[in-house]
């Protein structure tokens, strides 16, 4: 069955189910012109506080499109947007900047301007403690690579693939990403590195050849002191040391 144009579907979704919202942004690979027949639509919706007591996330199928819904009131929008510079993941920012808006166009333009300013400012720099923790985590995963079986190796490489790329970007004061968006972030920052990153992990996953990955890990960590194992100490949060009430 041929699908209707995705923006027509998004408009109908807004009018039918979210007409009371202040604004809705339809975003994702389809909006960027990179979509396929199986691509979903990312939907960010903002309500006035009095019209939505509690924010939520939902996935629905609407006119044969999978729609990932991020439904927020103004308080939740401020909270989640405010988390992104520290997390280094511009999820809401990207949806709003790239998204096609429905609803209050003036309000949408204000949000887009704010998101663009935040994105241009970059994420918060990693602290020294965060850098040390990430170095340790990556070194620990590399230490696990001589795994007992293929299942353990695949699990280790899967986690390392995200953490190494995230550290490379964050340590260079760049925005990071999850899953597919991680590769886009790497490619946008350093296309040569992104290509070597894919080759190194492909060799590790497909050929059990760890040499390119070993080289890449040491290249990424070297400016920050290299791999960190012995001598690293982290403390439990204060609330963990308090007696149970």
**Where is the domain boundary, 76, 91, 121?**
121
**Where is the domain boundary, 72, 87, 121?**
121
Query: Chain-wide mean pLDDT for the chain?
Result: 95
pLDDT for 188 beyond 90: yes
The pTM score is 0.89
Residues 85 and 55 in one domain: yes
pLDDT for 117 beyond 80: yes
Confidence of residue 186 (pLDDT cuts 50, 70, 90): very high
pLDDT for 197 beyond 80: yes
Residues 117 and 134 in one domain: no
Residues 198 and 100 in one domain: no
**Where is the domain boundary, 105, 121, 137?**
121
Mean pLDDT over 123-142 rounds to 97
pLDDT tens-digit series, residues 88-110:
999 999 999 999 999 999 999 99
Mean pLDDT over 190-217 rounds to 96
Residues 106 and 155 in one domain: no
Residues 103 and 152 in one domain: no
pLDDT, residue 179, reads 85
Domain ranges, residue 109: 6-121
The answer to whether residue 1 sits within a structural domain is no
Residues 80 and 31 in one domain: yes
**Phi, psi at residue 24, to the nearest 5°?**
-135, 135
Residues 81 and 160 in one domain: no
pLDDT, residue 17, reads 97
Can you say whether residue 33 is alpha, beta or left, with left for phi > 0 and alpha for psi between -120 and 50 degrees? left
pLDDT, residue 235, reads 87
Q: Which of 27-31, 38-42, 109-113, 228-232 has the lowest mean pLDDT?
A: 228-232
Confidence of residue 149 (pLDDT cuts 50, 70, 90): confident
pLDDT for 231 beyond 90: no
Q: Please give the share of the chain, as a percent, with pLDDT higher than 70.
A: 99
Q: Which residue has the higher pLDDT, 1 or 85?
A: 85
Q: How many residues does the chain have?
A: 245
- The total of other beta-carbon atoms located within 10 Å of residue 124's CB is 14
pLDDT, residue 1, reads 62
The answer to whether residue 232 sits within a structural domain is no
Confidence of residue 244 (pLDDT cuts 50, 70, 90): confident
Place of tokens 């990556």: 138
Q: Which residue has the higher pLDDT, 47 or 37?
A: 47
Query: Which parts of 35-179 fold into alpha helices (H)?
Result: 74-87, 91-98, 105-121, 128-143, 150-171
Residues 141 and 42 in one domain: no
**Phi, psi at residue 102, to the nearest 5°?**
-130, 140
Domain count for the chain = 2
Angle CA(169)–CA(129)–CA(157) in degrees, nearest 5?
A: 50
- The dihedral built from the CA positions of residue 169, 173, 177 and 180, taken in this order, carries a sign that is negative
The answer to whether residue 240 sits within a structural domain is no
Q: What is the CATH number of the domain that holds 52?
A: 3.30.460.10
Residues 39 and 141 in one domain: no
pLDDT, residue 116, reads 98
Residues 163 and 87 in one domain: no
Residues 84 and 23 in one domain: yes
The answer to whether residue 164 sits within a structural domain is yes
pLDDT, residue 150, reads 86
Residues 135 and 168 in one domain: yes
The answer to whether residue 229 sits within a structural domain is no
């Amino acid at each position: 069955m041929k699908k209707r144009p995705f923006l027509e579907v998004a408009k109908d979704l807004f009018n039918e189910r979210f007409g009371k919202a202040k604004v809705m942004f339809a975003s994702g690979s389809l909006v960027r012109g990179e979509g396929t027949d199986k691509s979903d639509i990312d939907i960010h919706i903002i309500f006035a506080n009095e019209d939505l007591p509690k924010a939520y996330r939902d996935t629905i199928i609407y006119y044969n499109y999978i729609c990932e819904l991020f439904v927020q009131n103004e308080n939740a929008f401020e909270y989640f947007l405010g988390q992104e510079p520290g997390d280094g993941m511009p999820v809401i920012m990207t949806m709003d900047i790239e998204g096609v808006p429905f609803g209050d166009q003036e309000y949408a333009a204000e949000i887009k301007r704010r998101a663009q300013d935040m994105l241009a400012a970059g994420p918060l720099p990693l602290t020294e403690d965060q850098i040390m923790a990430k170095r340790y985590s990556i070194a620990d995963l590399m230490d696990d690579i001589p795994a007992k079986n293929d299942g353990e190796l695949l699990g280790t490489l899967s986690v390392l693939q995200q953490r190494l790329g995230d550290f490379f970007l964050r340590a260079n004061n760049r925005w990071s990403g999850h899953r597919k968006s991680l590769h886009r972030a790497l490619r946008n920052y350093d296309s040569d590195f992104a290509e070597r990153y894919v080759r190194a992990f492909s060799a590790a996953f497909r050929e059990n050849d760890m040499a390119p990955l070993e080289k890449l890990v040491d290249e990424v960590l070297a400016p920050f002191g290299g791999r960190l194992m012995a001598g690293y100490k982290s403390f439990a949060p204060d609330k963990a040391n308090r007696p149970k009430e």
